[in-house]
Structure 1
Amino acid sequence: MSVAAPAPAASADPPVEPPAPSRARPWRAHLTVALLALGTAVYVTNGLWRDPYVNGLSDNIGDQAFFEWLLGYGVYTLGHGSDPFFTDMLSVPFGVNLAANTSISVYTILFAPLTYLAGPQVSYVTILTLNLAGSAFVWYLFLRRWLVRSPIAAGLGGMFCGFAPGFISHANGHLNWTAGWVAPVVIWQVLRLRQPGHWLRNGLVLGVMLAAFFTIAAEGLFYTALASGIFIITWALAGAVRAEAKAAFTTVLRALGVTAVVAGALLAYPLYMHFAGPQTFSGTGFNQRYFAEDGAAYLSFPSRSLAAIFGFGSDLAPNRTEETSFFGVPFVVLILVSLVLVWRRAEPGRRATLRAITLVGFVFLVLSLGPRLNWMDGELPVPMPYSLLSHLPLFDAALPLRLALVVAVVFGVVLALITQELVDRRLSPSLQTAMTAGIVVALLPILPLPVRHQQRAPEPDFIANGTWQRYVSDNGVLSALPFALNVTADGQRWQAYTMARGGPQFRIPGGYFLGPMTNGEEGKKQIGRIGAPNLPTDWLFTRAALYGYVTELSDADRAQARADFAYWKLEAVFLPEQITGSDHMTLFRNAVLVTATDLLGEPERVDDVLVWRIRPGVDPIDR
């Protein structure tokens, strides 16, 4: 990619990584941006930091519970030598294919000591904060090294790339999508592949990177590879740099060959598990036509922004975790004007880079709109290019609207480039003033607000003190009521806390994860769904918790319960004093209590929960 002007007449893209500035290393600028990024990340996540053990993300408490579970499973993996890509701790009796989920195995292992000492709750908010701060800082380093000279330009662009509205939205639960630092690290190494004489070393490093980052952000890695491919091909075809690209072709091809061999060897098992392992599936369980970007969202303001305080927020996203664009009209206009101004002043080599960057942004913007065009919360009968890709491998497991996160990064690059023009005072005085004001006006409305939080039900003493061990055999099956789902995730996170402590463990039926639509018929690929297939008995409790619906039970219901309990090998269930719902949802604990008592008889009071033992072959009411 190009270094900043002044550039050679033919090309601004050096054949190797550009040398460091001759002056002393800019540690002061690096430290300033690092502290600013960390401070902003703590500000965004401060609601969780106030009390990580009590507070949870109200806009996506289910995903937080899932990632906390993975962090607890990391400690369990190290202590028991278990498979990091498949578990039987969830969804008894079939288990869960973690390779087909976002297993974040690298994070779970690296942070296992912290998880063991402080709990998954602290590890979770630590990773979330470092993800956001690290993304902004690494993008700053990338921009400073490859595109602009000014620390102000690189800092502004990097901060936008790290804290763009889409990434703030994904801070509601997603440790994978907030790991935006993965993209600049990978792209940096891709650009180094053309270094003469270092194809073996560079290919090896990139291969190891891809293997490590696969578990952290597989979908993001796919988007990075796709964007890199579009950029490199478009850039290499430009007349101004064609000779340079041709000279680097053999070196890059050799390096990519090494990358393929190394990454293929390291990822052989996880890729097998992902595509052909037990409990695998196609798709994600989410509707791609629903999880597509609304075209009007690009011109709207996000719900967690300064503009939203004054009533200008929008609800054009499927949920508050998927507001992946939402730049607002002022910022979109700023980017379009900036592209024109930077293009007009660019040397031929820099124009090759700009052309490639612009094409990447345009392609990802169009693809983010999904299979059909959506506008102002309505789907129009207009087919879009993504409809041709939606059934292809990898694309079938992606959600189109998340492609807009690449558009956000492209906008951040353009923001850095126009800021460099302003720092160099290459514009006329009037245009200089107008563009400076334009940046302020465009950025102010989308300044982020902290993610929303709520209190979660505390871990019961029954679990924390290990009392549960008196009611379940070693590695036996235990469940909280209602059973664990994305909107009732307490039981799953309490299992996570138990795994994080080491020692005896219990397994749970159900859980929040992605799995096949039905269990059984091994070897037959199925479409994906959220969680395990419902049985009548767990739905009985879920319906009571979510809607307060109490069913008048019959002998047939009790017979079904016996069969379901045997299917899960369930030994005991318990009802805590509080049940957590997402988005400040009120759950009906009393309805769950009435249902459980009608089905299982009077409970036993143990510590701070109500417990029902399940004896195989015994009618629940005849305990």
Structure 2
Amino acid sequence: MRPADTGGRQAARTREAVVDLSVVIPAYNEERRIGPTLDAVTRYLDQTASRWGSWEIVVADDGSTDATREIVTLRRDPRLRLITSPGHRGKGHALRLGVTASRGRRVLVTDADLAAPVAELEQLDEALGEGHAAAVGSRAVPGSTLGDRRHRVRELLGTAGNLLIRGTAVRGIRDTQCGFKLFDGEKARTAFAASRLDGWAIDVEVLRHFQQAGWPVAEVPVHWSHRRGSKVRPLDYPRFLRDLVRLRTPVPRPADAVAAALFLAMAVALYSGRFFDPAHRYLTDSLQDQNQWEWFFAVTADNVAHLRNPLFSDLQGVPGGVNLMANTAMLGLSVPLTPVTLLLGPAVTLSLVMTLGLAATATAWYWLIARRLVPQRGAAFAGAALAAFAPPMVSHANAHPNFVVLFMIPLIADRALRLCAGTRTTRDAVILGLMAAYQLFLGEEPLLLAALGMLLFAAAYAAVHPRVARAAVRPLLRGLAIAAAVCLPLVVYPLAWQFNGPQSYTHIEHGPGTANTVRALLTFAERSLLAGDADRASALSLNPTEQNAFYGWPLLLLALAITVRLWRQPAVKALAFTAAAAAVLSLGPRFHVPLTGTTVPGPWALLAGRPLFESVIESRVAMVCAPVLGMLLALAIGRLAAARSLGTQYAGLLAVGLALLPLVPAPLRSEPRAEVPAFFTEGTWKAYVRPGESLVPVPLPEPADAEALHWQTGAGLGFPVPGGYFNGPYGEGDRSGVYGVPLRWTASVLQDVRATGVAPVIDERARDATRADLAHWRAGALVLAPQPRDEVLRTTVEKLVGRPGRWVDGVWVWDLHQGTRKGS
């Protein structure tokens, strides 16, 4: 009994250990062949042990009704394992069971008949040593040799099947069905776990997964000979064709629909304070951004409805107007959503864009992670939730849709990875070019930051896996050139308008305090439900919408632990470098070393002031960390799900929960919105503003107070206003960008009165300056709505204009057609 117990403990230890090579053999009623096959494989691996190291053989039985399983279990070799299925479901099901149960750094899949001798493994191994992720033993490439041939009808059917496969599912591989393949172990387990076919077409499905993931596949010539007793029958081909059709028309899993629904519920919960009454609720922490964005959607819909240029508007900044392409107007959504805006109003449009866009972004990250990194849907969900609902994303959810609606970014990343495989370079490049063009109309800065993140990842991956990088360089560069050729004609005119059209500018100076600090990376965000500290977060950021770091120290410690534990995986090394590099870049051109008085140069100094980067708020580079940390989290949870020890699973998931719990966001703050005065909603303003004239709010709208834009949208955009909240040039001679417009004398005086409550001394020179300003603005009326310090504002305007205003439909009005106007 003791020797048996010892063997059992040894087998248990073997099951927990990682081995160098796993040999997976699917079997169904193979009692005549399985014994000699196991003998041949075991003998070969023992004789070449110095090359292959530790190994295991996994027999995946597909519900055999003969003595196949008994033959396997009677062998006392602890390196031999039997995985059984309760019923006969097909070779694909058996392979999925066997490969996912394997522990090898490399996995050889071979049929039970050994039609390709096991010694051919050496050639396949050389291909993996050259940087490929899989090596397919092929009967159809030069150098292969054939022994006994198959029955003529079966051979014709096989040839026809291969032609169909190459034309529809897998490009560039001539022989997908040879049952002798060597895989990178982790990638094989990922691909087989993600498979859903139970029949012979699983070979096609797995190789298709490798190609779509950008994992290079080599086709290696082998010696092959037909063995009697083949399990493939002519009547199996209709099922094979049906499975190919299923591959071409993939059906989402129920878990995918559940994930999308949960992301939508999370987005609605985040916006619950405004989502159900968008027209009468205001996001408190959005400052004036909600007013601005509603105006963008409203003016774009108005331009489209009246067949005007959607790249420009003269409704703000009179007389210069607004270059909409030089602002974040999100024409990629505001234009197609014109019917919604015209029918339901811009407040509803913005609410839908923010909520549905956030859910769509999370779903896109989920799709990418499940497709490229982990088969477990739960792991992909957790990673995507962190990518889309990380603290920086929640901060920008306060009416910054261009940094929240990022569903195109994961699709662009996936298409770029497809280019690396080089299988459908032209097709993938054309699609990538179209995607990039569309993302440019959703947000240029997010596209730039995403490109920076992908470049960092590519550089790191090339450093740790140079052979794969060398193989990918040529198709990637060719594809990017084609993508640029597709994208540029679509965007060249809008970009020319943006940089050289009316009211364009060269760059924007954001001033000091735009970089992160190390403390900002370690601290919790304001809207963290359990750990948020508004005062501390405000001290470390520009404002509530620009808390671009705040991942919290527990998450960063978890990411470090994941990196150390999974360091052997090239993807983990590249992801860790990307996150670290983005975090360091976000510290700005110079940053303070914590706990010291030392300031050192930062790598951002190499980019600051360069074209494209000159207007970027450098703290936003830390947003690149959100999806990267989400991917590391998904990889960790996927590894935990595969762990055989419940203690390991519980401890790992507990650590994940403790790191993520402080980051759970609280719903965004909202408050009742001030009603638009009846003077605007009832159309009373029409009696005071003639065609070609503007209405001058008191004070003028500016980045600190843009409520007048709400009045303007409430009036159906019937009148233009001077001032405003947008990006434009400082002046005709200075094309440096500013927020709003440079203040003229009257606008500056009114702003100071509102800020201080002190009425200035008004003399004739002041009145002359006001007349000049009103003439410049082509003003038809001045309007003062009830607001703090409105009495002193009203007194000041009366002195400037020379007469009292009239109370009309909820506002004070000075009709400039009755007296002082346009220089009179």
TM-score w.r.t. length of structure 2 = 0.68
Residue of structure 1 aligned with 2:659, choices 442, 465, 480: 442
SS of equivalent to 1:306: coil
- What is the match of residue 688 of structure 2? 471
Residue 405 in 1 paired to residue 623 in 2?
yes
- What is the match of residue 794 of structure 2? 593
CA contact (8 A) 2:772 2:823 kept: no
Residue 461 in 1 paired to residue 678 in 2?
yes
CA contact (8 A) 1:71 1:496 kept: no
CA contact (8 A) 2:525 2:532 kept: no
- What is the match of residue 767 of structure 2? 558
SS of equivalent to 1:541: helix
Whole-Å separation in 1 of the counterparts to 2:593 and 2:280: 39
Give identity over the alignment, percent: 32
CA contact (8 A) 2:779 2:822 kept: no
CA contact (8 A) 2:767 2:800 kept: yes
- What is the match of residue 602 of structure 1? 804
Q: Please report how far the alpha carbon of residue 187 of structure 1 lies from its aligned counterpart in structure 2 after TM superposition.
A: 0.5
SS of equivalent to 2:443: helix
Q: Please report how far the alpha carbon of residue 371 of structure 1 lies from its aligned counterpart in structure 2 after TM superposition.
A: 1.5
Change (3 A) 1:462 1:202: same
Residue of structure 1 aligned with 2:737, choices 502, 523, 528: 528
CA contact (8 A) 1:294 1:369 kept: yes
Residue of structure 1 aligned with 2:514, choices 291, 294, 297: 291
SS of equivalent to 2:212: coil
Change (3 A) 1:25 1:18: farther
Q: Which runs of 5+ in 1 are unaligned?
A: 580-586
Residue of structure 2 aligned with 1:29, choices 255, 264, 270: 255
SS of equivalent to 2:783: strand
Residue 422 in 1 paired to residue 640 in 2?
yes
CA contact (8 A) 1:41 1:132 kept: yes
Which amino acid is 1:82 matched to? R
Q: 1:370-423 CA deviation, whole Å, 9 max, x = no partner?
A: 122147899953221112221101111100000010012211111111000111
Residue 363 in 1 paired to residue 581 in 2?
yes
Q: 1:209-256 CA deviation, whole Å, 9 max, x = no partner?
A: 1111112111010011122222223323444x61x4444433322221
Q: Please report how far the alpha carbon of residue 307 of structure 1 lies from its aligned counterpart in structure 2 after TM superposition.
A: 2.7
Whole-Å separation in 2 of the counterparts to 1:327 and 1:599: 51
Q: Which runs of 5+ in 2 are unaligned?
A: 1-98, 108-127, 134-183, 188-208, 215-243
Which amino acid is 1:605 matched to? W
CA contact (8 A) 1:52 1:122 kept: yes
Residues 537-552 of structure 1: matches in 2 within 5 Å? 537-552=746-761
Whole-Å separation in 2 of the counterparts to 1:490 and 1:140: 38
Residue 217 in 1 paired to residue 418 in 2?
no
Residues 78-477 of structure 1: matches in 2 within 5 Å? 78-239=304-465, 242=467, 244-287=468-511, 289-308=512-531, 314-315=537-538, 316-343=540-567, 346=568, 351-374=569-592, 381-425=599-643, 429-477=646-694
Q: Please report how far the alpha carbon of residue 283 of structure 1 lies from its aligned counterpart in structure 2 after TM superposition.
A: 2.8
SS of equivalent to 1:479: strand
Q: 1:291-345 CA deviation, whole Å, 9 max, x = no partner?
A: 11111111111110123468896331121111111121211111110111122xx
- What is the match of residue 570 of structure 1? 779
CA contact (8 A) 2:317 2:724 kept: yes
Whole-Å separation in 1 of the counterparts to 2:269 and 2:252: 26
Q: Please report how far the alpha carbon of residue 482 of structure 1 lies from its aligned counterpart in structure 2 after TM superposition.
A: 1.6
Whole-Å separation in 1 of the counterparts to 2:379 and 2:712: 46
- What is the match of residue 5 of structure 2? none
Which amino acid is 1:16 matched to? Q
Whole-Å separation in 1 of the counterparts to 2:593 and 2:268: 35
**Please, which moves more after superposition, 39-48 or 54-63?**
54-63
Whole-Å separation in 2 of the counterparts to 1:386 and 1:558: 49
Residue 508 in 1 paired to residue 508 in 2?
no
Residue 612 in 1 paired to residue 821 in 2?
no
Which amino acid is 1:17 matched to? Q
**Please, which moves more after superposition, 551-560 or 397-406?**
551-560
Change (3 A) 1:407 1:540: same
Which amino acid is 1:546 matched to? A
Residue of structure 2 aligned with 1:55, choices 257, 270, 281: 281
Whole-Å separation in 2 of the counterparts to 1:74 and 1:228: 32
**Please, which moves more after superposition, 457-466 or 530-539?**
457-466
Q: 1:34-83 CA deviation, whole Å, 9 max, x = no partner?
A: 11111111111111124212211222231111111110011111122222
Residue 16 in 1 paired to residue 211 in 2?
yes
CA contact (8 A) 1:211 1:263 kept: yes
TM-score w.r.t. length of structure 1 = 0.89
Q: Please report how far the alpha carbon of residue 197 of structure 1 lies from its aligned counterpart in structure 2 after TM superposition.
A: 4.8
Change (3 A) 1:8 1:81: farther
Change (3 A) 1:534 1:375: farther
CA contact (8 A) 1:558 1:620 kept: no
Residues 67-86 of structure 1: matches in 2 within 5 Å? 67-86=293-312
Q: Please report how far the alpha carbon of residue 122 of structure 1 lies from its aligned counterpart in structure 2 after TM superposition.
A: 0.8
Which amino acid is 1:60 matched to? S
Change (3 A) 1:377 1:185: farther
**Please, which moves more after superposition, 75-84 or 8-17?**
8-17
SS of equivalent to 1:267: helix
SS of equivalent to 1:414: helix
Q: Please report how far the alpha carbon of residue 196 of structure 1 lies from its aligned counterpart in structure 2 after TM superposition.
A: 4.2
SS of equivalent to 1:34: helix
CA contact (8 A) 1:292 1:368 kept: yes
Q: Please report how far the alpha carbon of residue 543 of structure 1 lies from its aligned counterpart in structure 2 after TM superposition.
A: 2.0
Change (3 A) 1:203 1:309: closer
Aligned-CA RMSD value:
2.8
SS of equivalent to 2:807: strand
Whole-Å separation in 1 of the counterparts to 2:631 and 2:413: 13
CA contact (8 A) 2:383 2:631 kept: yes
Whole-Å separation in 1 of the counterparts to 2:454 and 2:537: 32
Change (3 A) 1:297 1:480: same
**Please, which moves more after superposition, 600-609 or 397-406?**
600-609
CA contact (8 A) 2:692 2:778 kept: no
CA contact (8 A) 1:293 1:368 kept: yes
CA contact (8 A) 1:74 1:105 kept: yes
Residue 482 in 1 paired to residue 699 in 2?
yes
- What is the match of residue 493 of structure 1? 710
Q: 1:173-204 CA deviation, whole Å, 9 max, x = no partner?
A: 20111123232121112112245452222111
Equivalent pairs counted in the alignment come to 594
CA contact (8 A) 1:368 1:402 kept: yes
CA contact (8 A) 1:165 1:327 kept: yes
Whole-Å separation in 2 of the counterparts to 1:378 and 1:613: 62
Change (3 A) 1:231 1:562: same
Larger relative contact order (CA 8 Å, sep ≥ 6): 1
Which amino acid is 2:639 matched to? E
Whole-Å separation in 1 of the counterparts to 2:423 and 2:555: 43
Q: 1:101-127 CA deviation, whole Å, 9 max, x = no partner?
A: 212111111211111111111111111
Change (3 A) 1:192 1:215: same
Q: Please report how far the alpha carbon of residue 472 of structure 1 lies from its aligned counterpart in structure 2 after TM superposition.
A: 1.0
SS of equivalent to 2:379: helix
CA contact (8 A) 1:99 1:273 kept: yes
